[in-house]
């Protein structure tokens, strides 16, 4: 008899556990009902960047009256976790999926499954590069080429007179720091800055295409680029590796040549290269002290970079619009589910400097 009582105690404990579950679930379990469900699987959730994406996604969900779940793995190397999240999301019969894949190869089976079932998949942020044809209906992402072009415009407007003053005897240089020569988004940024700068110099200054020389890492130099000039050099720099120390070393090497090569401006195409430059310049404080007149533009945000912009060590930085990325991802997913034609959306980029970084429309885009 006694053991029977023990069994009942144990069963009770199990039941209590089962009862505890919905308590935890409380609030998170919205009205399941008949509202269409869209699964959003991101690359992460922790960073402020992703929190902004999530806010945007939720706003779009409210606007279109859909249920969404937003989840991502704890770190960007947790490919396995993301695959499981996608699997679990797909088992819940979503009408559409928004996906920022950490690794396209590992979700190949899932993508061919959505393709055969006719579930639309929308890529967001970096999207799902090299996905099977037809599985990705559209992408909501920053057009990196245009975003970097914006940086080139801002820089050009400041250094235009210095560029026009350049001669063959006293050439000037513009440096682009790229973290690596492999990632598609970074390649687009480098090219976007380079092409826009070349175009601006050729069209809006007294110099012509023949005065420009694009040099540096071959991945960033196309055959269509001018390479025969001797007045304005555009150097594409790639550090030895993506590590923070190599970024800093490459930045130091560039800074050492600022006086000799008359470097007018540096564009750092992502947060890692910005951090490298900051590390090489005492968090940016050396920039006005030792390299007065040097124009620096960064990309993305982060505490150090925001500080550098606020203190005007940098002219400013380019920021993506994570809120719009999330919003457009869910919007496209909803439209694809409705059968409306969808196409890639550029979620835009904004230039921020000391004067506008605290404005409401910018503040939300700058994360630490």
Partner 1 sequence: MSYSNDNKTLFENFRDIGLQKFLAPAALVILYIFFGLFGRNFFSYSTLINILDSSYYIGFIAIGVTFVIITGGIDLSVGTVMMCAAIIGGTAYKSWGWPMWLSLILILIIATAFGFFNGIMVSRLNLPPFIATLGTMMISMGVGSIVSNVRSATFPTRSNADGWFKSIFKHINEDGASFPTGALVLLVVTLLAWLILTRTKMGRYIFAIGSNKEAARLSGVNVRKWEMMAYVVSGFLAGIGGIAFAAVYTTVMPAQGQGFELYAIAGAVIGGTSLSGGVGSVFGTLIGVYIMSVLRTGLPSMDLQAHYQTFFTGVVVIGAVLLDIYRNKKASQVKIPAKSDLYRSEMTEKIKSLKNSLQGADSPESESIKAEIAAARKEMNEVYKKLKEEEKKLKQGLAED
Q: What is the rounded radius of gyration, in angstroms, for the C-alpha atoms of the chain?
A: 25
Stretch that binds partner 1, among 8-16, 47-55, 206-214, 305-313 (CB under 8 A): 8-16
Neighbours of 69 (CB within 10 A): 18
The answer to whether residue 3 forms part of the interface with partner 1 (CB under 8 A) is: yes
Q: Greatest CA span in the chain, whole angstroms? A: 102
Rounded to an integer, what distance in angstroms lies between the CA atom of residue 305 and that of residue 303? 6
Stretch binding partner 1 (CB under 8 A), from 21-29, 121-129, 175-183, 349-357: 21-29
Helix ranges, 65-143 (H): 79-91, 108-117
Interface with partner 1: number of residues (CB under 8 A): 47
For residues 80 to 119, the per-residue mask of contacts with partner 1, x marking binding by CB under 8 A and - elsewhere, is xx-xxx-xxxxxxx---------x-xx-xx--xx--xx--
Distance CA 287, CA 55 (A): 36
Instruction: Quote the least distance from Cβ 103 to partner 1, whole Å.
Output: 5
Q: Does 133 bind partner 1 (CB under 8 A)?
A: no
2/169 with CB nearer partner 1: 2
- What is the Cα–Cα distance from 240 to 249, expressed in whole angstroms? 9
If binding is defined by CB under 8 A, does position 198 make contact with partner 1? no
Figure out which of the listed residues 5, 23, 29, 292 binds partner 1, where binding follows CB under 8 A. 29
Burial of 203 (0-12, 13-18, 19+ CB in 10 A): exposed
Single out the residue of 35, 59, 79, 207 in contact with partner 1 (rule: CB under 8 A): 79
Burial 238-268 (b: 16+ CB within 10 A, else e): bbeebeeebbbbbbeebbeebeeebbbbbbb
The residues that touch partner 1, with contacts defined as CB under 8 A, are 3-4, 6-7, 10, 13-14, 17-18, 21-22, 24-25, 28-30, 32, 37, 69, 71, 73-74, 77-81, 83-85, 87-93, 103, 105-106, 108-109, 112-113, 116-117, 132
């Amino acid at each position: 008899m006694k053991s029977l009582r023990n069994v009942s105690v144990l069963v009770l404990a199990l039941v209590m556990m089962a009862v505890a579950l919905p308590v935890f679930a409380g609030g998170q379990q919205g009205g399941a009902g008949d509202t269409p469900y869209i699964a959003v699987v991101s690359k992460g959730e922790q960073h402020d960047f992703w929190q902004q994406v999530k806010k945007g996604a939720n706003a779009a969900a409210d606007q279109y009256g859909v249920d969404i779940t937003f989840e991502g793995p704890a770190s960007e190397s947790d490919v396995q976790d993301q695959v499981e999240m996608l699997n679990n999301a797909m088992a819940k019969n979503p009408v559409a999926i928004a996906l920022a894949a950490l690794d396209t190869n590992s979700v190949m089976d899932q993508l061919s499954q959505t393709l055969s079932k006719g579930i639309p998949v929308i890529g967001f942020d970096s999207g799902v590069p090299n996905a099977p044809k037809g599985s990705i209906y559209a992408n909501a992402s920053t057009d990196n080429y245009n975003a970097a072009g914006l940086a080139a415009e801002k820089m050009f407007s400041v250094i235009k007179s210095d560029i026009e003053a350049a001669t063959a005897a006293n050439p000037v240089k513009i440096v682009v720091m790229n973290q690596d020569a492999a990632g598609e988004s970074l390649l687009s940024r480098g090219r976007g800055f380079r092409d826009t700068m070349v175009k601006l110099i050729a069209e809006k200054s007294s110099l012509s295409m023949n005065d420009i020389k694009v040099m540096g890492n071959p991945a960033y130099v196309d055959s269509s680029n001018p390479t025969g000039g001797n007045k304005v050099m555009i150097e594409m720099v790639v550090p030895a590796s993506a590590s923070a120390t190599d970024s800093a070393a490459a930045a130091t090497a560039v800074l050492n040549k600022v006086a000799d090569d008359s470097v007018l401006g540096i564009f750092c195409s992502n947060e890692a290269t910005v951090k490298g430059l900051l590390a090489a310049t005492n968090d940016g404080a050396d920039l006005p002290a030792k390299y007065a007149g040097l124009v620096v533009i960064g990309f993305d945000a982060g505490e150090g970079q925001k500080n550098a912009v606020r203190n005007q060590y940098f002219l400013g930085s380019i920021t993506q619009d994570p809120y719009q990325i999330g919003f457009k991802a869910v919007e496209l997913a909803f439209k694809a589910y409705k059968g409306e034609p969808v196409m890639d959306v550029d979620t835009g980029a904004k230039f921020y400097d000391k004067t506008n970084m605290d404005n409401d429309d910018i503040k939300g885009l700058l994360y630490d």
